[in-house]
Every structure is written in structure tokens, then in C-alpha cells.
Structure 1
Amino acid sequence: MSENGAALLDEVEAFHRRFNVFPLEAAYVAVALWDAHAHLVDAFDSTPRIAFLSPEPGSGKSRALEVMETLVPNRMMAANATANAMFRAVSATETRPTILFDEVDAIFGPLAGGDEQLRAFINAGHRRGASTWRCVGDGSSQTPTEFPSFCAVAMAGLGSLPDTILTRSVIVRMRRRAPNEVIEPWRKRLNEPEGHALRDRLAKWAASVREQVDGAFPEMPEGVSDRPADVWEPLLAVADAAGGHWPARARVACVELVKAAKQSDKASIGIKLLTDLRLIFNGAERMPTAHILVSLNSLDDSPWADIGGKPLDARALAKRLGEYVTADNDPIKARNIKTGDGVVKGYYASDLHDAWTRYCPPLPESPLLPLPPLPRRSDPVDR
């Protein structure tokens, strides 16, 4: 008798709930679907990364990976692994690993030097058919060799990740457990076999629905398109194959987590800068760089007063804005502005407007109404 997919996913979700406290109900849905999708990676055109991130240690990120490790196929715990090791591990397609990368902040965090090869590997491996080329051999007899990089990747770390990885990921922003949030202690010898039993059942169920999900294009929730749709398409296909309440729950979770990712200030430091500039300009046609920097660095809820240990300066502002272009497709850059004291460098709203339109969230449709005028002495006052 074939496995009931909906009931099996219910059990996978319940297993996570025993040992993990996630910040949103949607996260439990996404994680259970991600576990199942790892058994069906070859049926999809892309595989979403999943990232457990938090601002502080002790928030349950590593425990989430520990539980997940027991549920996915060919798991490979990859803390401190090199890019070259990844290339070679994933190239064995018959036993393609599911990579579980803990303490990823040691590579991509603010105090780390970064690893461009590893970042490129994680980015490229999200899409079927992606490969990395390396020269293999000794001395002058090296041969260019193709290493497939398509595989499922889960990550856990402090802080954030490069924007290119974030946009390819389901983001679960972890937090420390409150006193009333009680979970079971994780006992590897006792609980790992339970996870493995679920893993084996997931593998059998995945084999039974592979033809159903292979090439499927599930209906996306309204408003979810482009990169978020790429991320969620495999998870929704799994939910549709499972049936029961999972298709509806998956779409609700999709909308909630996509919205949460868009609202995150750390999702893109560039978009945060553009949004803050739109606020500062507030209808002005142009503004000197010095005035912009004072205004940015005085915003209480923005990071500009402490970028790498120092306030944002004119050079850093120019570098960040130069990554965006005007409506004429020219890089945004400072221009001369005439003032009463001469000519200074600054920025024009007309140069920024196209980037504001494309990248910033819409302005509120109903701005706050002005405060009523104070009553005059001759006006009656309610007592």
C-alpha cells in the first residue's frame, strides 16, 4: 500500500516541532516541504537553499540542521568545507549529497574575508545543469574539467548572507526560545534512528510521486513571481503531490515567508540605501552629498552611522549608488550643484527616480494626516 503523502509530511513536521522552535508557523511548513524536496531534487529545474539565520548565538540554528540531517538523503555536514571539496562531492551524481552548512557566518559574516568560490558554488548550484570548471592535473598537463554543482543546500549562521544567496533561499530568522517555549532535548542515539525511519519513508514516497512532480508547474500564489517563484516552485510541487491540507498550507506559508523576506532590512543594503534616500529627498530636486551623509548618519533605524566600524562617507556612498543606473542606463553618480557659496558635489532626484521606482517598496497610499491646529484662546476647549 502506498504511503499517504499528507500524513507523512504531518509526521515530518511533528518531528521538527519536538526539537525546534521556529519563529513562524509558516517556517514549519517550509522546512517539512524542503526535507521532502531533497529526495526529489532531480525532478526540478531548481532547488531552493534554506537558511536558518539569527542575530545572536543560542537560537536553535544548529539544532535545526541536526534534525534536518536525519531526514534528507546523503547528508553532508560541511562546516569549514572548501569549495574544491564541494565541487568533487557534488560531481558524484549517483550519490549527490544534501549539503548542510553550519556556521556559514565564518565565511560570509562581517568579520570573515569571504570565499568567492564558495559563494559562486552555492549560487550556481541552485539551477539544474549548473557546473563549475576547474583545471585538474599536475603542472603543464592540467585539463579543464567540468564539475556539476546542482544540489540541495541548507545553511545556518549568525547575521545575514550575500544578497545573491538570500534571494535563492527560504529564510527562517531564528530567535532564542522564550521561557514558555519548551522542546524535547535532542538525544542523538535515541532520536537519530527516528529521523532515519522518516527519511526512508520519504524516499519511498518520493519515488512513488516522482513522475507526478517531474516537470510540474504548480500554481503560484498571487503576487509571487520571478526569483521567489523559482524558490517556491519545487516546494509547492511537493505539497501538491502530498495533497490533503498541504497545498493550501504551502501557499499560505509561501506568501508569508516571501513577504517577511521583502520586509527584512538586511535583505539588501542597497535597497535600504535607496529607500532612505527617497525619504531624505522628500520631493527635493537635488541635494549636496554633505547634507545627504549627515541625514543618513542621523537616521536612528538605519545602519549608515556604523558601516564596518565607521560612518558612511562620500566615497562609500558613491560606490554603492554606482551599482544602480539612471533612466538613461548610466551609473548613478554625484554631479555639480550650484549653491550660494559656489559649486558642490551632490545627487539629483531625477538620477535616482528610476532606481526608486524599480527597487523601493511603494510609498504608503494613505499618508498620515497632519495634526489639527492647536486651539486659540478664544476657541472653546473641552474640559
Structure 2
Amino acid sequence: MDLEAIDSSDIHAEPSASSASSSPSGSLLGVLDKVDEWISRFVLTTTAEDIHLMTLWAAHTYVVEQTYTTPRLQIDSVMPESGKTTALEHLQHLVRRPLSASTISSEALLPRVLERGIRTILIDEADRSLDPKNPIMAGVMATINTGYKRGGSRPVLVKDSEGNWTDREMSTFAPVALAGNNPSLPDDTRTRCIRVLLMPDFEGLVESSDWEDIEEDADHLRIDLEMAMEAARESVGNARPTLPEDCKGRMREKWRPLARVAQAAGGRWPGIINTLIHRDMEERKMERAEGLQNLPLRVHLIRDIAQVWQAGDQFMPSTELVDLLAARFPTRWGLQSTKGLTVQGMGRMLMQGYKISSDREPSGARRRGYSHLQFTESWRRFQVEPPHIKPDGPDEQAQLDETRNR
């Protein structure tokens, strides 16, 4: 199936007037609790917080015009058969105007669909359907990335009234959920994602999703959620939740929409979103500490130089620094890397990335290299613990102290 576009009317059986009256929308707090309970019946996540995350994300799809940004939901698992497709099926019955995309054959397809209104895009098997080797994926990922923020758009070729091709800006703004086994997402996409981790249900802890039996209840729940979010639309738009002090930049952009829904709901939900944000920030911090993030080579270089700098040295010749880097990190800079690091290559990256240039050794020797003091500001900004050196006199000690105290 290439792209299966499913409107709400296609998968949600609209209840009759009598059944609708017997299923009141209720308060947003009560409805979120019901959605949370529903998802936990059928989806097994690593932690209970991931269920709460799915609930808040499903709710925010109805008010993305008010939340300004819409985080990408990444549904991941440690192994196949962990319920990723099941999780997407339940989201399909809960979110705003779902659009199920198993494969995408054209990079212009999503903008064309979104031109007719906001949809919630649900992409299954993202590890295969978003294969970076596919030549159209650059355009698809551009749609996913730009559509993360209100006003996002991209040019698409369309035929005018005379049959001539012309470009037109089309909106890409839409909620997106991606399900797949550790999909190879670009870094700029990963920073826009909030992640749910599923576990295989070997012990039968969750119920089977027999849609013939549960679809009507799911549809009623979706109507309750839609009505509750519509009633809370103004509250969500006016909400200005206080986020953790360190939640800044892209981290703030992706969590604030869900925090606004949580604040509008009240009850336990503001505490839940605070826990989720702190967990995400801690995971990112651990990834940086363990070197698990896909950092640019220039960032690796500044970090690796701190690792190999000889304790006590104030100056290191370029050739010696390159040799130490190649020996310590052979797959990145040495013989096991694609090209291997050269003095000229290192100099180019340091100049272009940090405005750090080599100089002659202070002792008057002809060797060129770098002083410890040249790196201290960059190490500080990347939160790298600098190697210890013995300052050469009070002036250099004062410079080091000033840099550390900024």
C-alpha cells in the first residue's frame, strides 16, 4: 500500500444522537485519564510515563494551531514484535484526522495532502519507509522537519490553469508519529522527537486489540477527546507553563505543547509532564557523556583534544596532537577511519569551527602547534572538563580563572 489516507469519517463510526448523549465529553482531566487507561490496556511500554506521553501527544493533535510547535513522536522498541503497529493503530483511532503512511512514493505527496487541512501523519516501519538511501527521502524528511513549527512550508511543483508547471508554497505543518526499530533518523529530526519505548509482551500483561470488539468504544473515546480539547482550546492557547530552567532551545520547543495541554487539564498532569521533561533532559545528558550522540566531526575534535592533551603541557605541536588523536581514536582519526586526520585537516576544522589557528612554539622553536589557553573557551561552551596544566605565570592563571568562572 503506497499511501493510505484515512479521514476521521473513514475509520471512526460517528455515533447516533442517542449514543452521543450517553457519552459526554466530560472535563479534560477526566478524558485524559480515560485515554491513559485505554492505551495502557493494549500497549506495553518500558515505563508508565511513556503511556502518559502517548496520551498527551494524542490530545495535542487537536490544538496544534494553539501550541505553535508539534513534537514528532518516535515509537521505538528493543526488538520486532513489540507492538509498534498496535500503538499506531490506537493512535489512529484517537488523534485528529489520521493519515496512515506505510510507504511514501513521492516527496511532494505529504504537502499536497496537507494543503487540504491539518492531518496527523502516522508512519509505520519508519526504519524501512524512511530509508535514507531512498533518493526522495531528503524531501520527505524536509517536510517532516519544517512541519514541526507553525508556518512551515516547502515549494511544490503544480500545474497551472494552462497546464504549465509552476512552484507553489504548500504548508507542511502537521503532527507526525514515526514507528520503527531504531530508525536511522537525521540528527535534526531526532532533536524534534520525543521517544516512547515499547517492550515485547511475553507475559500477556496487555489485552489483544481485537478491533471488531473494541472499535466502537475507541471511537466514542476519540469523540470525548476531541470535544474536550475543543472546549479547552482557548485555555491551551493561553497557557504559559513553567518549564525546568535547563529546558531550553529545541528541548523547550518540543515539550512546551504537551506542557500546555497538561496545564489546561490540571490534576496530576502538570506533575507528569515535569517528570517526562526531566527524564528526557537526563537521557540527553547521559548520551552526551557516553558519546552516543551523532555529533559533527568538529565537535568530536574539540572533545577528543581534551582527552589526549598531555597533563601539565601548555603547548602541543600539531604533529604530536594528530598522532595522539589517531592512536586514541583510530576509527575516527587514525588508520581505521575513512581518510585519517592530517595536520592540515585538523587546522582547517579548528579554524572554520572555532577560529583557532596554530602558532609557533613559545620557546622560539620552529614547530607550530596550539596552546592550552586557545581551547579553554570552546571546552567550556561544550561542557568539557579541560586537562590540568600548570599556568605559566600569574597572567595566564588569571586568564584561566576568568574563563572557568564565565
Q: 1:107 touches 1:113 (CA, 8 Å); kept in 2?
A: no
In 2, the alpha carbon distance for the partners of 1:323 and 1:85 equals 42
Structure with max Cα Rg: 2
Q: Could you tell which deviates more after superposition, 139-148 or 205-214?
A: 139-148
Q: Once the two structures are superposed, what CA deviation does each residue of 1:54-80 show, in whole Å capped at 9, x if it has no partner?
A: 454333333322221111011111122
2:151 to 110, 129, 132: 129
Question: Could you tell me the TM-score, scaled by structure 1's length?
Answer: 0.77
Q: Which amino acid aligns with 2:26?
A: E
SS of equivalent residue, structure 1 residue 22:
coil
Where does residue 308 of structure 2 map in the other structure? 280
**Are 1:207 and 2:233 matched, yes or no?**
no
- Once the two structures are TM-superposed, the CA of residue 103 in structure 1 deviates from its matched residue by 1.9
In 2, the alpha carbon distance for the partners of 1:180 and 1:348 equals 59
Where does residue 295 of structure 2 map in the other structure? 269
Where does residue 380 of structure 1 map in the other structure? none
2:381 to 340, 358, 366: 358
In 2, the alpha carbon distance for the partners of 1:142 and 1:282 equals 62
Q: 1:18 touches 1:184 (CA, 8 Å); kept in 2?
A: yes
Q: Once the two structures are superposed, what CA deviation does each residue of 1:148-188 show, in whole Å capped at 9, x if it has no partner?
A: 1111011122334211111111123x254374572222223
Q: Once the two structures are superposed, what CA deviation does each residue of 1:29-52 show, in whole Å capped at 9, x if it has no partner?
A: 221100100111111211111112
Q: Which amino acid aligns with 2:86?
A: R
Q: Which amino acid aligns with 1:97?
A: R
Q: Which amino acid aligns with 2:140?
A: L
Where does residue 230 of structure 1 map in the other structure? 253
Equivalences, count:
346
For the structure 1 residues 143 and 178, does the alpha-carbon distance in structure 2 shift closer, same or farther, using more than 3 Å as the test?
closer
Where does residue 168 of structure 1 map in the other structure? 192
Where does residue 19 of structure 2 map in the other structure? none
Aligned CA-pair RMSD: 3.6
Q: 1:78 touches 1:99 (CA, 8 Å); kept in 2?
A: yes
- Once the two structures are TM-superposed, the CA of residue 273 in structure 1 deviates from its matched residue by 6.1
In 2, the alpha carbon distance for the partners of 1:175 and 1:121 equals 26
Where does residue 250 of structure 1 map in the other structure? 273
Q: 2:59 touches 2:261 (CA, 8 Å); kept in 1?
A: yes
- Once the two structures are TM-superposed, the CA of residue 114 in structure 1 deviates from its matched residue by 7.2
In 1, the alpha carbon distance for the partners of 2:306 and 2:82 equals 35
- Once the two structures are TM-superposed, the CA of residue 236 in structure 1 deviates from its matched residue by 0.6
Where does residue 55 of structure 2 map in the other structure? 32
Q: 2:304 touches 2:325 (CA, 8 Å); kept in 1?
A: no
For the structure 1 residues 57 and 179, does the alpha-carbon distance in structure 2 shift closer, same or farther, using more than 3 Å as the test?
closer
Q: Which amino acid aligns with 1:187?
A: D
Q: Once the two structures are superposed, what CA deviation does each residue of 1:295-345 show, in whole Å capped at 9, x if it has no partner?
A: 1138xxxxx599xxx64542698699579721xxx3x78x6999xxx9999
**Are 1:295 and 2:328 matched, yes or no?**
yes
Where does residue 404 of structure 2 map in the other structure? none
Question: Could you tell me the TM-score, scaled by structure 2's length?
Answer: 0.73
Where does residue 92 of structure 1 map in the other structure? 116
Q: 1:50 touches 1:153 (CA, 8 Å); kept in 2?
A: yes
- Once the two structures are TM-superposed, the CA of residue 239 in structure 1 deviates from its matched residue by 0.5
Q: Once the two structures are superposed, what CA deviation does each residue of 1:203-229 show, in whole Å capped at 9, x if it has no partner?
A: 000110111112432211232122111
SS of equivalent residue, structure 2 residue 353:
coil
**Are 1:118 and 2:140 matched, yes or no?**
yes
For the structure 1 residues 259 and 142, does the alpha-carbon distance in structure 2 shift closer, same or farther, using more than 3 Å as the test?
same
In 1, the alpha carbon distance for the partners of 2:128 and 2:305 equals 32
Q: Give 1:172-211 correspondences, 5 Å limit.
A: 172=196, 174=197, 176-177=199-200, 179-180=202-203, 182-211=205-234
For the structure 1 residues 113 and 262, does the alpha-carbon distance in structure 2 shift closer, same or farther, using more than 3 Å as the test?
farther
In 2, the alpha carbon distance for the partners of 1:23 and 1:305 equals 37
Structure 1 gap segments, 5+ residues each: 299-303, 365-383
In 1, the alpha carbon distance for the partners of 2:303 and 2:294 equals 11
In 1, the alpha carbon distance for the partners of 2:221 and 2:168 equals 37
- Once the two structures are TM-superposed, the CA of residue 269 in structure 1 deviates from its matched residue by 2.9
**Are 1:314 and 2:340 matched, yes or no?**
yes
SS of equivalent residue, structure 1 residue 144:
strand
Q: Could you tell which deviates more after superposition, 181-190 or 102-111?
A: 102-111
Where does residue 8 of structure 2 map in the other structure? none
Q: Which amino acid aligns with 1:279?
A: Q
Q: 2:29 touches 2:267 (CA, 8 Å); kept in 1?
A: yes
SS of equivalent residue, structure 1 residue 132:
strand
Q: Which amino acid aligns with 1:154?
A: A
Q: Which amino acid aligns with 1:289?
A: V
Q: 1:52 touches 1:157 (CA, 8 Å); kept in 2?
A: yes
Q: 1:133 touches 1:147 (CA, 8 Å); kept in 2?
A: yes
- Once the two structures are TM-superposed, the CA of residue 141 in structure 1 deviates from its matched residue by 2.9
- Once the two structures are TM-superposed, the CA of residue 191 in structure 1 deviates from its matched residue by 3.2
Q: Could you tell which deviates more after superposition, 39-48 or 264-273?
A: 264-273
- Once the two structures are TM-superposed, the CA of residue 246 in structure 1 deviates from its matched residue by 0.8
